[in-house]
Amino acid sequence: METTVLILLPVAGAVVLWFAPWLTPRAAGGFALLVALAELAFWIGTALNFDFGSPGPQAGADRVWFADLDVAYRVGLHDYSLWLVGLTAVATAAAVGYGFWVGRERAGVYLSLLLFLEGATVGVFAAQDLVLFYVFWEAMLIPLYVLIGVWGGPGRLGATVKFVVYTMAGSLLMLVAIIAAGLQAGTFDMTSAAGRGSSTWIFLGFAAAFAVKAPLFPFHGWLPDAYRESPPEVAAVLSGVISKTAAYGFLAIAIPFYPGPAEDWRVPALVLASIGLVYGSLLAFRAPDVRGVVAYSSLAQMNLILIGLFAANTSGYTGALLQMVNHGLISAALFLLAGAIERRASTGQLVLLGGMARGRPVLATVLITTGVIALAVPGSSAFAAEFLVLNGAFAVGWGWAVVGAIAIVLAAMYMLRLVSAVLHENVGSAVPAEALDLRPAEVGVIAPLVVALLALSFWPAAITDRLSGALF
Amino acid sequence: MEALAWTALFSPAAAVVAIALAGERIDRFAAGVLAAASTGVSFLCSLVVFVVLLGREHDDRSELSTLWTWLSAGDLEIGVEILIDPLSVFMMLVVSGVGFLILSYAVGYMHGDAEERRYHAYKALFVFSMLLLVQSGNLLLLLAGWGMVGLSSYLLINFWHARREAVAAGKKAFVMNAIGDATFALALFLVIQRVGALDFETVFADAPEALGEGSTVAVLVALGLLGGALAKSAQVPLHTWLPDAMEGPTPVSALIHAATMVTAGVYLIARTSPLFELAVDVQELAGILGAVTLLVAGLVALVQTDIKRVIAYSTMSQIGYMFVGVGLGAYGAGLFHLMTHAFFKALLFMAAGVVIHALADEQDIRRMGGLARELPWTFRAFLVGSLALAAIPPFAGFFSKDAILSSAANAGTLGWILWAAGIGGAFLTALYTFRLLFVVFFGEISPFAREHLHRERFEGPLAMMWPVAVLAVLSVVGGLLQIPGVWHAVDTWLEPVVESAEEATGITATFSILASLAAALGGIALAWVLYRRPGERPAAIRRRYPWAARTLEHKLYFDEAYDAAFYAPSSRLALWLGRWIEEPLVLRSLGGLATGVRDVSDRVAATQTGGVRAYVLALAMGLAVLAVVFLLVA
Amino acid sequence: MLGPGVAAYLVLSVVLFATGALGVLLRRSPLIILLALEIMLNAGNLALIAFARRLGDGDGQIFALTVMVVAAAEAVLGLGLIVAVSRQRADLDVDRLTTLRG
């Protein structure tokens, strides 16, 4: 029941906004923010009542959809999906708040799409039926398509086409896999043991969709453009939350349902993810603009998460899940900060930036804090997660952990380069002297993300202790 | 007692949060005082803990206290736990004590800087991280403190972030330390795999069985830990960041890059000595690298012209001595030198800070000279520090350095080799230290100094002078804690945690003392001849051996070598990947999928003329075709 | 009870259907096309009812009724669209209404 509310609340908000174009941007923004915050509050309530010890999905619902094929509206939350839903609620609230503050054109429609996206994403995390999962999965694509294609930057059309074609190609293969899996098992119920199988092709069908969306190296062709051309808050949601649906897919479907093929494909997957980790880190180190650095670091981090998942042991899973939450918060904060920087300097080119720390203590503090957590300085929650991921990888083979350790050093290099290029040394030619520090509204949107990260750094076990181990 | 230890840990953290949240609402001076006071609280708490432990039985001085679970995964559970035992209390006293003095000094030194509050917050953050490092009860939390001292060091090195050099130095320090963090973490993975836990007690108890003495695994674990220690303590080959780190404000250099953080490697080896003792080769490697470092640093220090860089190289070389000590199992001696070094090196840096402050931020010793008359008290403090550094009795450095050398003399062939290196290092130490002293303080006052010298009521603000005085006293008397043949207070105190190696006695000990004394006096004498007054002789030597001077001025080409071996290739690789893989393969050709789809759809779309009748015609024809097909099939 | 056989109805239905189809294909006025469409639908209805009667069950009649409802709805929409289009442009020629081409 609660899960249904979590899915429908933002969708209902989106519908109201969609059919109320007469609302002033202010009223629409206020309403959307209210809905996003209500969703967050409801999630907190759900989390407080959640029984973390029990393995099955909770707070769910089950309504027959078409009985012949045993397709049903089955939803429910596992302990691991609960955290991802929380991440979705937090990141979307920040994105809605930011979009509201920036004042997009046709604010009502814009925010309505963001809310719809939130509902669909929660649906992906909550679905316990493969057909339903697919429906939500595709439903995420619609608002994203419009958000990037209409409100994006100058190269938005190319970016949108690329994004849609890539993800559609992946998800159509998944659709085939779902149909095959469902007909084979006689049910699309994800909680039933009948769904488990050993077909390599079905596994690869799922893997294709998830590998594109995560993205696993080398399926990231859509990523740089999409992250550069989106409005910052959409990029924040896209890299912070949407990419996690793919990791979730591996975690909750591809690997546990097809243990045999997953085992067979583990080494190739680990190889690709390791390459992606180093490759993304290196490209981030040389990217010319703020968003480029964040985009490629996001690629690297997602591949790190996949290393943890394919390590397929407790440490790897736990670390990967913790890192999914961490990275969601980090990359949402970084993209919003990139937006804030671009608003001030009207460019994200690093050579034109610099010296923004002077007289802008809040911007400097927030960016440095986020940056050092992003580079996983020991003691941060990102470090805790990376430690577990690499520990899990080490158990599979020491080579994977060594690659990960190299990437830790590379992460320090690219993040510090970003921080310094924006904040330090001489004032960049594109930075006007009168550019303001972060405004209270921006702080109000970004600070909660950073505070959440700091809190997690003090107590990463808040999450890792609350995983029942149902999967592991 | 546990509550006190926790208070000692979190009091600086509370100051950080308070200063950060208060922003501009807090007075700049108040921020400094708050930071210093929080460290003072830590010191008092540590002192009480020390007294409490002192009152207990010898082997009842260890206590573990856990607040909450920090991280867990399956069976692995790592708590926020601190270990209170003689070793950690020893380090707490040094860190918070010296830290308190330096933070007080910084209130005066940083007065009037545009971003004073940020500075004091960072400084308190550092003290918190350092205390976390030394108090931690497990390896992971130790690594957390380890990384966070690196972070605060980074933040403080590039505190004056408008300066390009400062920013570069900060990044370099952080990345070098990240390499150490990475090897440290790899060692921990191995420990987890074999032992299944990270808390000291379990690890040390199970390690002999789980790792095996002298096994490859034990060697790898020790190597990983050693990598971390080398990076943090700026030992060859991971040492190049420390001299550059002098771009930070002087109190930072005093606290982080002399007294506390850089000695963390010594602490680590002492703390994890049960693991190192399973891999004696690696432990000896630590000693050998320490000896190499102390010679390299001593040589390079001879030609440096920046007052702080000279002291920085002396720090490297003194930590080299400590590594020799702990590498040979003389933990007490190594840690004793750590403590006295904290006193006299902080003293030297802070006295240098007074000079720099008085000369309007000038650091080049070639523009200094004859300052003894102008800054008599600073000169005296500097002299005390120099004598202690050169290990002249009865100053603190003498006793501690002697303890290390004397232990080395008792440690077989390798011990004697390291001992010889130590004696050579003692000569170099005396030479460069007194070169610095003579050049800066002796002779005629330089024109630059005459022009720029400005004094306030005293030689520096009072807030700066009193910590200098306290440290000067400690540098004189600090060595008396451990007098060979008389008493060994430090060794005895640390004994429940680390057994100290036997020192040489009798004739060997006397020989060792006399040799090191002779080396030190020889160094001073040579410095007196060469540098007492500005003269031709140093330049003549330089002309005779131009290659030597060049090599030393380039710091033995370590920076150049690393740049050519690591940085440049990875940077080139990144650009190459961007140009030849990402752009053509990933973005364009796979991206060509997207354009391909668009092209095809354009062509298909062209058939949609918009003319309804055309559609209807197509429909009708399609129907006709279908009808024919059905008829034929039927 | 008895009337002409089902064949006669079918012939009429075919004639009607052909008339309608030709109308749709040949005429340019959307209004006439709509009319022709209705004729085609009714040709279908006629056939349905004829068969229903012949087979003696009600299914065909139900279908015919459904078709009528749909046809009525379609006529409403179609006429509405035509009126809307005619407000925009003077000429109502389907060959020129090609705004929706690909």
User: What's the gap in Å between the CA of B208 and the closest CA on chain A?
Assistant: 21
Please give the mean pLDDT across all residues of chain A.
90
Instruction: Report the run of H or E that residue C85 belongs to, with start and end.
Output: helix C59-88
Q: Based on the number of CB atoms within 10 Å of its own CB, is A443 exposed (0-12), middle (13-18) or buried (19 or more)?
A: middle
Instruction: Please give the Cα distance from B125 to B123 (Å, whole number).
Output: 5
Instruction: Report the run of H or E that residue B64 belongs to, with start and end.
Output: strand B63-73
CB pairs under 8 A between B and C: 33
Residue with tokens 């850089």: B262
The pLDDT, as a whole number, for residue A194 is 66
Residue B206 in contact with residue B199, Cβ under 8 Å?
Answer: no
Nearest-CB residue to A283 (from B69, B577, B585): B577
Interchain CB contact of B608 with C (< 8 Å): yes
Instruction: Please give the Cα distance from A192 to A188 (Å, whole number).
Output: 8
DSSP secondary structure string for all residues of A108-147: HHHHHHHHHHHHHHHHHHHB-BHHHHHHHHHHHHHHHHHH
Split at pLDDT 50, 70, 90, the class of B361 is confident
Residues 175-214 of A with CB under 8 A from B: none
Nearest-CB residue to A391 (from B179, B189, B586): B189
The pLDDT, as a whole number, for residue B457 is 56
Split at pLDDT 50, 70, 90, the class of A469 is low
Tell if the CB–CB gap between B179 and A401 is shorter than 8 Å: no
The token pair at B175 is 């990345």
User: What's the gap in Å between the CA of C96 and the closest CA on chain B?
Assistant: 7
Instruction: Please give the Cα distance from B46 to B312 (Å, whole number).
Output: 28
Split at pLDDT 50, 70, 90, the class of A448 is very high
Residues 404-443 of A with CB under 8 A from B: 405-406, 408-410, 412-413, 416-417, 420, 423-426
Helix axes B546-553, B537-544, angle to 10 degrees: 100
pLDDT tens-place string over residues B567-582: 888 888 888 888 888 8
**Lowest-pLDDT choice from A96-100, A464-468, B591-595:** B591-595
Split at pLDDT 50, 70, 90, the class of A472 is low
Q: What is the mean pLDDT of residues A233-249?
A: 94
Q: Is the pLDDT of residue B97 over 60?
A: yes
Q: What is the mean pLDDT of residues A48-63?
A: 80
The pLDDT, as a whole number, for residue A195 is 67
Nearest-CB residue to B613 (from C25, C99, C100): C25
Residue type, A283: L
The pTM for the full model equals 0.88
Q: What is the mean pLDDT of residues B21-27?
A: 85
DSSP secondary structure string for all residues of A339-398: HHHHHHHS--BGGG---TTTT-HHHHHHHHHHHHHHTT-TTSHHHHHHHHHHHHHHHH-H
Whether chain C lies against chain A with 3 or more Cβ pairs closer than 8 A is no
Give yes or no for a cis peptide into A218 (omega within 30° of 0): yes
Instruction: Please give the Cα distance from A168 to A162 (Å, whole number).
Output: 10
Contacts of B604 in chain C (CB under 8 A): 102
Split at pLDDT 50, 70, 90, the class of B525 is very high
Tell if the CB–CB gap between C102 and B612 is shorter than 8 Å: no
User: β-strands A71-77, A58-66: how paired?
Assistant: antiparallel
Instruction: Please give the Cα distance from B355 to B362 (Å, whole number).
Output: 8
Q: Is the pLDDT of residue A174 over 60?
A: yes
The pLDDT, as a whole number, for residue B233 is 92
- Closest Cα in chain C to B618: C25
Q: Is the pLDDT of residue A165 over 70?
A: yes
Nearest-CB residue to A314 (from B73, B151, B597): B73
A434 CB-near residues (< 8 Å, 6+ apart)? none
Residue type, C22: L
Nearest-CB residue to B175 (from A166, A314, A413): A413
More confident residue, A195 or A456: A456
Cα of B617 vs its chain's centroid, Å: 83
Nearest-CB residue to B613 (from C94, C100, C102): C94
Contacts of B617 in chain C (CB under 8 A): 25
Q: What is the mean pLDDT of residues B410-422?
A: 90
Q: Is the pLDDT of residue C22 over 70?
A: yes
More confident residue, C17 or B443: C17
Tell if the CB–CB gap between C102 and B610 is shorter than 8 Å: yes
Tell if the CB–CB gap between B611 and C94 is shorter than 8 Å: yes
Tell if the CB–CB gap between B143 and A378 is shorter than 8 Å: yes
**Lowest-pLDDT choice from A1-5, B178-182, B591-595:** B591-595
How many residues does this entry show for chain C? 102
Split at pLDDT 50, 70, 90, the class of B530 is confident
pLDDT tens-place string over residues B457-494: 567 777 888 898 999 999 988 888 888 777 788 888 88
Instruction: Please give the Cα distance from A158 to A149 (Å, whole number).
Output: 9
Q: What is the mean pLDDT of residues A393-401?
A: 91
Q: What is the mean pLDDT of residues A177-199?
A: 84
